[in-house]
């Protein structure tokens, strides 16, 4: 082993999903090479992390960077810039672009567009649709593919798997864990009159009600069990689903978003209007308490931002013409660190949900741990730093956040990707160096 490291991080508290320990980290050739007392080691560069906590690089397991097709809202470069400023080192990007990511040419087009433009590391989901079911077992194994994404409720273009017959064909078509947006399409269509009854965004959780989510999640678990296909249920919003998923850990894992853990109906619709509109919707406090219970008891295994930006002009169209979704990749960590400081979860649990959990779910090679031989992806945070989420800090093209002017305690102060410092003190450093992630 070389006695000279490329980078040594000294004096910080290393946080994994199991322990907190004060130790130095040595990095060589983009990998973690040593952990311990490295005071006698030489290095080309040293970072003093005194009074900071060193986390495994944050993974945002659900983002929509809108490229290709809607680059006026976001693109790969702006979205990944926002990620890195927020302490995120890897993102898993969704397939509902235009065209949808459902074929090898469309997947390869995304990989080609990403070269030299991603500030963080990345992987892309393949979208399941009627036309590609026969090819999914091949598509899910493409280099850089996170897995298959299934939309059970209405989505972009042909990306809709509305009934059990088609769902079973998709689930039978591969082996890797599939990510699922679980809302029941038939119930959404039956209840469209609520959406169109002339009210505002407060109608959104009435239209897309608890049963819309619960019905789909029940159907999904039943079929997944029968076909022995592991699934990951995205953006859970109801206490009922948490209770159901608690009994289905043999086949299903669950994900929550910071916004469902932070914003509450009806207040969010009074304060933010259509800017609080997303699918599935923000619900009442009783459901939020259910989500937090799922985090406490281990039912929830990941937190993803569901970063889904729209322009102010689009959001201002008025309900129901306003599109659903909000930005979140840059604020994921600050919002969750604020919850840590408020006593809602421990820092170790946050690491499970945002680093080791997502890496394990999709078998992201060499990601998610501070361990020798793993990629030197690290996020340095100041747990005591108080900061206001300001307009000039935001990097997303959409230019807004549901948390604008919110004061939080806990802040990412440096982002390190494969041993390179790419953000320090709210400033991006260097050109984009993001690479495609390998998945086992």
- For residue range 169-218, list pLDDT tens digits in order: 999 999 999 999 999 999 999 999 999 999 999 999 999 999 999 999 99
Q: Is the pLDDT of residue 67 over 90?
A: yes
Domains present along the chain, CATH in parentheses: 4-54+376-428 (2.30.40.10), 58-362 (3.20.20.140)
What average pLDDT does range 139-151 have in this prediction?
98
- Is residue 38 very low, low, confident or very high in pLDDT (cuts 50, 70, 90)? very high
What average pLDDT does range 106-123 have in this prediction?
98
Q: Is the pLDDT of residue 397 over 60?
A: yes
Whether 306 sits among the annotated catalytic residues: the reply is yes
Q: Hunting for tokens 């983002």 — which residue is that?
A: 63
Residue 340 region, left (φ>0) first, then alpha (ψ -120 to 50), else beta? alpha
Is-contact 138 173, C-beta < 8 A? Answer: no
41 by DSSP, 3-state: which? coil
Residue 157: the pLDDT is: 64
What average pLDDT does range 127-134 have in this prediction?
96
Q: Is the pLDDT of residue 1 over 60?
A: no
Sequence-distant (≥ 6) Cβ neighbours of residue 360 within 8 angstroms: 368
Residue 155: the pLDDT is: 62
- Record the tokens describing residue 349, joined without a space: 């649990």
Q: Is the pLDDT of residue 116 over 80?
A: yes
Residue 254: the pLDDT is: 98
Residue 428: the pLDDT is: 98
- Comparing CA positions, the residue from 267, 285, 284, 286 lying closest to residue 276 is 267
Proportion of the chain above pLDDT 70, given as a percent: 99
What average pLDDT does range 289-301 have in this prediction?
98
Compute CA distances 411 → 299, 395, 415, whole Å.
27, 16, 11
Lowest mean per-residue pLDDT among 9-23, 133-147, 268-282? 9-23
What average pLDDT does range 381-404 have in this prediction?
98
Query: How far is Cα 250 from Cα 62, in angstroms, rounded to an integer?
Result: 22
Q: Among the options 75, 306, 375, 377, which is catalytic?
A: 306
Q: Is the pLDDT of residue 149 over 90?
A: yes
Q: Is the pLDDT of residue 108 over 90?
A: yes
Query: How far is Cα 229 from Cα 171, in angstroms, rounded to an integer?
Result: 6
Sequence-distant (≥ 6) Cβ neighbours of residue 434 within 8 angstroms: 80, 114, 117, 118, 119, 120, 121, 122, 417
Residue 33: the pLDDT is: 97
What average pLDDT does range 344-358 have in this prediction?
97
Q: Is the pLDDT of residue 236 over 70?
A: yes
Q: What residues are paired with 126 via a beta bridge?
A: 148
Residue 400: the pLDDT is: 98
């Amino acid at each position: 082993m070389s006695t000279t490291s490329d980078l040594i991080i000294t004096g910080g508290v290393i946080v994994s999903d199991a322990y907190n320990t004060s130790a130095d980290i040595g990095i060589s050739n983009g990998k973690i090479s040593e952990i311990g007392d490295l005071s006698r080691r030489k290095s080309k560069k040293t970072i003093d992390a005194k009074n900071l906590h060193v986390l495994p690089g944050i993974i945002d397991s659900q983002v929509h960077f809108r490229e290709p097709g809607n680059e006026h809202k976001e693109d790969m470069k702006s979205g990944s810039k926002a990620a890195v400023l927020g302490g995120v080192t890897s993102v898993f990007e969704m397939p509902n672009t235009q065209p949808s990511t459902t074929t090898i040419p469309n997947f390869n087009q995304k990989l080609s567009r990403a070269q030299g433009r991603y500030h963080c590391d990345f992987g892309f989901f393949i979208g399941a649709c009627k036309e590609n079911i026969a090819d999914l077992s091949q598509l899910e194994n493409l280099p850089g593919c996170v897995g298959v994404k299934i939309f059970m409720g209405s989505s972009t273009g042909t990306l809709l798997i509305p009934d059990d017959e088609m769902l079973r064909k998709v689930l039978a078509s591969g082996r890797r864990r599939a990510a699922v947006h679980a809302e029941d399409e038939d119930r959404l269509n039956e209840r469209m009159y609520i959406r169109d009854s002339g009210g505002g965004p407060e109608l959104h959780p009435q239209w897309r009600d608890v049963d819309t989510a619960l019905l789909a999640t029940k159907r999904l678990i039943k079929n997944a069990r029968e076909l022995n296909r592991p699934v990951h249920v995205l953006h859970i919003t109801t206490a009922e689903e948490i209770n159901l998923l608690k009994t289905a850990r043999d086949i299903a894992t669950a994900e929550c978003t910071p916004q469902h853990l932070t914003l509450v109906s009806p207040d969010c619709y009074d304060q933010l209007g259509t800017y609080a509109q997303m699918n599935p919707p923000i619900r009442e406090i009783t459901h939020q308490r259910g989500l937090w219970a799922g985090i406490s008891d281990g039912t929830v295994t990941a937190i993803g931002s569901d970063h889904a930006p729209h322009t102010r002009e689009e959001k201002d169209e008025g309900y129901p013409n306003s599109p659903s979704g909000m930005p979140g990749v840059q604020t994921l960590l600050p919002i969750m660190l604020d919850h840590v400081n408020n006593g809602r979860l421990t820092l170790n649990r946050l690491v499970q949900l945002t680093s080791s959990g997502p890496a394990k779910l999709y078998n992201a090679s060499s990601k998610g741990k501070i361990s020798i031989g793993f990629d030197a992806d690290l996020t340095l945070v100041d747990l005591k730093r108080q900061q206001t989420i300001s307009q000039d800090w935001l990097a997303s093209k959409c230019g807004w956040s549901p948390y604008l002017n919110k004061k939080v305690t806990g802040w990412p102060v440096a982002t390190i990707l494969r041993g390179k410092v790419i953000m320090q003190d709210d400033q991006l450093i260097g050109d984009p160096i993001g690479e495609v992630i390998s998945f086992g």
